[in-house]
Each structure stands twice: as C-alpha cells, then as structure tokens.
Amino acid sequence: MGFMTVGKENSSDIDLYYEDHGKGKPVILIHGWPLSGASWEKQVDVLLNAGHRVITYDRRGFGHSSKPASGYDYDTFAADLHKLVTTLELRDLALVGFSMGGGEVARYLGSYGSERVTKAVFISSVPPFLLKTGDNPEGLDESVFAGIRKAIVADRPAFLSAFFKDFYNADVLGGTRISDQAIQNSWNVAAGASAKGSLDCVSAWGTDFRKDLRKINVPTLVVQGDADRILPISATGIRTNKAVRGSRLLVVAGGPHGINWTHADELNPELLSFLK
C-alpha cells in the first residue's frame, strides 16, 4: 500500500513496505521470522470489523521491504518501528508482536517509552532472553544458534521446509488446523526474504530484553501455545509474563508456534477483548 524510507545504503534508499487500513484506535501487527506482514491474514479483517485502524509492515529484509546488507539488530528494528509510528502520527496505539516481532515491542517500549502506546501484546515471542549466560541459565546454548546459522548457509530452502513443519506442528495439526498449501505459502514468503537478513536475524534472537520488559508500564497480554517447538513457553512466554508487571498470560492448549494461523479462532476473541 505504501513505502516509507528509514535509511540509505550506498546509492539506494532503505524502504519499509506497510499497509494502513481502517479507522479507529490503531493497532500495529509486527510479524515473525522469516515471514512478512501478510502472515496476519487471519487477524486483519477481524480487527477491522471491530473498528480498529490496522497497520502491518514488512521488517527490513523481508516481504516487499528493501533488503539491505545490514541493520538486522533490535536497536535498528525498533528505530524502524519508531519511524513508522511517528511518520503516521500514531497515538493511543497497541503494539502486537508475534515471535521475533515481540522483540520489537520490547525494545521499542524500552527505548522510546509508552507516550504513544497504550497496550502491548506478545504472541509466541522471543523475550526475555534466549541466549544462555551465567545469569541466564534458562537460555539456549550458543551452539544452538550456530547450528541454525550453519544450516541456513548450507541450504536455506531445505532448512525452511523443516522449520515450518515444527512452526505449525504439521505432524499433529496438518490437514486439520493447517493445510499443506498454507505451509507452502509460508515457505514461499520465507524463500523470498533476504538470504543475508535471514541469517543475520538468528544472532539478533540472542538479544537480552530483560531491562526492556521491566520498563513496560502499559497493560500487557502474553499469549503462547504450550506445544510451541520453536520457542518453548517455559523459556519465553512464562518468563515474559513474570517480567512484565501486571501482565496476563494466556496459554493455548496444544498450540504450536504459529497460533495466529492454527488457533486463530481462540486467539482472535482474546485479542479483541484485550484491545477494547
């Protein structure tokens, strides 16, 4: 629907593709890796019909946005989001982040505060801190991230095929809550993303959001499936709920990572109720 320039790389502008629909209180939907804003297909119409202004955008390197060779870190991602928020002059805003998009929500609020934001939602999200360190024993060993990077470099299309099987728990939910065609569509979007951006984002997953979460002072909803194979709820959603003062945790029974597709019928009413 539109493009917004957030920077420059050599002779080319770095542009973010965004869609801005409807009227009412604004909601920004921030997608996960390695997808695009189109992954919110099952939420956009529901939110529009409920009277919200709905904005989706493609993170740099993904979807229709520019694919620069750098900037795949959360400080830059949050700055890109801030440029979108200020350019569109949004206020009384809800930020909804899925998976990697939850990192943007955390870092945005940690860096720019809640002057323009009134609610936050983390769905199957990466915070608080995925990397195992001396003061974060619940995290994952660096070898896990190194293995993912190695697999992406070796054969990114093959890696994505295996990744989406676990993203949607296809062995359990395939043919009932998600079709082969929907999984293939996710693969198609992911395969079209920047190869370098897809690789560099893996390192960004190890970002420490604990200080950001402590700064959040708006009503917050945390939603995650208890069968998430990509980001186990014990390492992410449960800890985020504990870290954000006054937040509410909704656990989706049998939900995989991609609950915004497979369990939209359960997620959407909760999302609408929270955003009222």
Q: Mind telling me the catalytic residues?
A: 99, 228, 257
Residue 234's CB: how many other CB atoms inside 10 A?
12
User: Closest Cα partner for 231 from 103, 106, 117?
Assistant: 103
Backbone φ and ψ of 142, nearest 5°: -55, -30
Bridge partners for 17 per DSSP? 3
Give dist(CA 179, CA 231) in Å, integer: 22
Rounded to a whole number, what is the largest CA-CA distance in the chain? 50
Residue 56's CB: how many other CB atoms inside 10 A?
25
Copy the structure tokens of residue 135: 């003061």
Residue 65's CB: how many other CB atoms inside 10 A?
25
Residue 4's CB: how many other CB atoms inside 10 A?
17
* Per-residue DSSP letter, 134: T
Classified as helix, coil or strand, 252 is strand
Residue 218 burial (C-beta neighbours within 10 Å; 0-12, 13-18, 19+): middle
Residue 153's CB: how many other CB atoms inside 10 A?
11
Q: Which amino acid is at 52?
A: H
Classified as helix, coil or strand, 219 is coil
